[in-house]
Amino acid sequence: MSDAAAPSQMTFWEHLQELRVRLVRSALIVMAGFGITYWQRFRLWDWAQRPFMEVFKAHSLAHAKALGLPPPTTFEPFAFTSLTEPFFSLMRISLWAAAFLVAPLLFYQLWAFIRPGLYEKERRMVIPFVFITSACFLGGAAFAYFNAFHFLGDILFKEAMDAGLRTNLHLEDYLDLFIYTVVGTGLMFELPVLVYFLARFRVVTAQTLLKYWRHATVGIVIAAAFLTPGDVIVTTIFFSAILLALYFASVLVAWFAAPKSSDPSGSGILR
C-alpha cells in the first residue's frame, strides 16, 4: 500500500488540537440549531408531553369508570414550584432538540476527528458513516418516543393510580425522565456502530463478544441501574433488555466487520 493511502501519523498534541477544533465546531453547530428550536420551545413542550398525556388520559378515564365517577373534563397533571423552573426547563428541552436537529452534522465532526487514523478506503465511508450513525440515533430516539415511553409511562402511572395518588408532577422531574429515556435509547442504538469500528480495528471479535456475554450482561444491568433516572426497577430492567438485545445484534455486526487476514485496511487504527 502506498504512503498516500496510509493513516496519517499525528502527535499527541496534534490529536488534542484536532479534538479542540471539532468540539468548538460542534458547540457552534448546536447553538445554531438552538436558535431554531428555542423559537419553537412551546411546540416542543407539547410534543414532549404527548406520550405521557395519552397514557394519563387513558388511565384517568379508566379509573373514573371503575369507580363509577363521571369522566374528568380537564387533564392538567403538571405543576412547577419555582418561577425559574419553566424557563430553564424549556431551555433544556430546546437544547436537546437542537442536538437532535443537527445530529448528522455532529456525527460528521466525529468522523472528521477519526478520519486521519483511517486508510484511504475507509475514509470514503464518510457518507455511510454519517447516515448510519444518524439513523441509529434518531431511530433509537423514535423507538423510545413512540414505544418505550408509552410502556414505561403505562407501568409507572398505573402503579400510582392503583395507590390512589393524585397527579401533581414537577415539570423538571418529568423532563428528566423524558430526556433520559429518549436520548439514552438513541445512544444505546449506537452500540452496533461502535462495535463495527472496534471489530474493524481488531479490538474485539464476534467470538470474544459471545465468550463474555455473561460478563457483559452483568455490566449492562449495573450500567442501566446507575444511568436510568429514578429508583424504579422497571426502568432498569427495560433498558437492560434493550442493551442486551443490541449486544447480541452487535455480535453479528462484529462478525460482518471483521477484516480478512489479507485486508490491510483492518489495521487502520489511530496512531
Q: Would you kindly state where each structural domain of the chain is located, as residue ranges?
A: 10-70+82-267
pLDDT at 264 over 70: no
pLDDT of residue 5: 56
Residue bearing cell 402503579: 159
Q: For residue range 161-177, list pLDDT tens digits in order.
A: 777 777 777 788 888 88
C-alpha 256/C-alpha 270 separation (Å) is 21
Compute the average pLDDT of residues 204-225.
85
Q: For residue range 116-162, list pLDDT tens digits in order.
A: 766 677 677 777 878 888 888 888 888 888 887 777 777 777 777 77
Contact call for residues 115 and 197 (beta carbons, < 8 A): no
Q: What is the mean pLDDT of the chain?
A: 79
Quote the cell numbers at residue 220: 449492562
Q: For residue range 195-207, list pLDDT tens digits in order.
A: 887 887 778 888 8
Please name the residues in contact with 140: beta carbons below 8 A apart, sequence gap of 6 or more: 185, 186, 187, 188, 189, 190
Contact call for residues 155 and 200 (beta carbons, < 8 A): no
Provide the β-strand partners of residue 169.
78
Half-sphere exposure of residue 89: CA atoms within 13 angstroms, side-chain side: 25
- 93 pLDDT band, cuts 50/70/90, is very high
Please name the residues in contact with 214: beta carbons below 8 A apart, sequence gap of 6 or more: none
C-alpha 252/C-alpha 138 separation (Å) is 21
